[in-house]
Amino acid sequence: MPLVEFKNVYKRYKMGEITINAVDGISFCVEEGEFAVVVGASGAGKTTVLNILGGMDSATEGEILVRGNDVSRYSDRQLIEYRRYEIGFVFQFYNLVHNLTARENVELATQICKNPMDSDQALESVGLRDRRDNFPAQLSGGEQQRVSIARALAKRPALLLCDEPTGALDYNTGRQILALLQETCRSEKMTVVLITHNSAITPMADHVIEMKSGKIVRDIYNNHPKSIEEIEW
């Protein structure tokens, strides 16, 4: 059984008389331990898919099964618990709490889950152990994003969802982050779903889902995903 299964999922927005299908009846699966990349131009509906998957948004129609449970039928509370125990999020703009140090930002996540990673260990795994007592403002963008990843990883989530994690970073730093994510996926057997508009990085993924105007136009598996060092763009 796949870890995630979208079955004919729609997300419609009503703008007056017009109904826009941000997600237009898509179905796909993500297996456990997979590094999946959803790729598409801006406005293709990929972020909506991620939000629905992350329990931050709800689908208008269709089933979203995670480990066989239909997330789309979850109550608000169940959704919160789902986010709390199953999901780790990494955003384009990191969304760190500015008033907390790097370690405290990680602790913010660890204090609410059942079996968290030690926060220092989480920071070590992203290579920021030495900077753990720094506030976000004292860290570079890449470092902040690594803290953000550490925070997500520390929860030991079933799914790590990354929304354009390199969008705000320069090329090299972006690569480092992607490498970190790929590394984590491999070593921790973490299932990662990553969204990007940059199709150049699709070769590193196990599973590539390409979207266009709310629909899936391509859903393929790379039999031989490349490591980030092998890709240039």
Minimum Å gap between C-beta 38 and another protein is 16
**CB-nearer residue toward another protein: 56 or 231:** 56
**CB-nearer residue toward another protein: 6 or 204:** 6
CA distance 157 to 89: 9
CA distance 172 to 142: 9
Scanning residues 116 to 175, which ones bind another protein (CB under 8 A)? Answer: 135-138, 151, 155
Scanning residues 42 to 81, which ones bind another protein (CB under 8 A)? Answer: 51, 54, 56-57, 77, 80-81
Judge contact between 136 and 96, C-beta under 8 A. Answer: yes
Is 91 a binding residue for another protein by CB under 8 A? The answer is: yes
CA distance 162 to 151: 12
Q: Given candidates 45, 62, 89, 185, which one binds another protein under the rule CB under 8 A?
A: 89
From residue 191, give the alpha-carbon distance in Å to each of 44, 75, 103, 120, 186.
23, 24, 24, 22, 9
What are the two backbone dihedrals, phi and then psi, of residue 11, each rounded to the nearest 5 degrees? -135, 115
Task: Pick the stretch among 22-30, 102-110, 212-220, 223-231 that binds another protein (CB under 8 A).
Answer: 102-110
Minimum Å gap between C-beta 76 and another protein is 8
Minimum Å gap between C-beta 57 and another protein is 5
Q: Given candidates 29, 32, 65, 108, which one binds another protein under the rule CB under 8 A?
A: 108
From residue 155, give the alpha-carbon distance in Å to each of 21, 58, 62, 69, 115.
33, 23, 28, 20, 7
- What residues are paired with 163 via a beta bridge? 195
Tokens found for residue 68: 């066989």
**CB-nearer residue toward another protein: 19 or 99:** 99
- List residues near another protein by CB under 8 A: 51, 54, 56-57, 77, 80-85, 87, 89, 91-93, 95-101, 104, 107-109, 111-113, 135-138, 151, 155
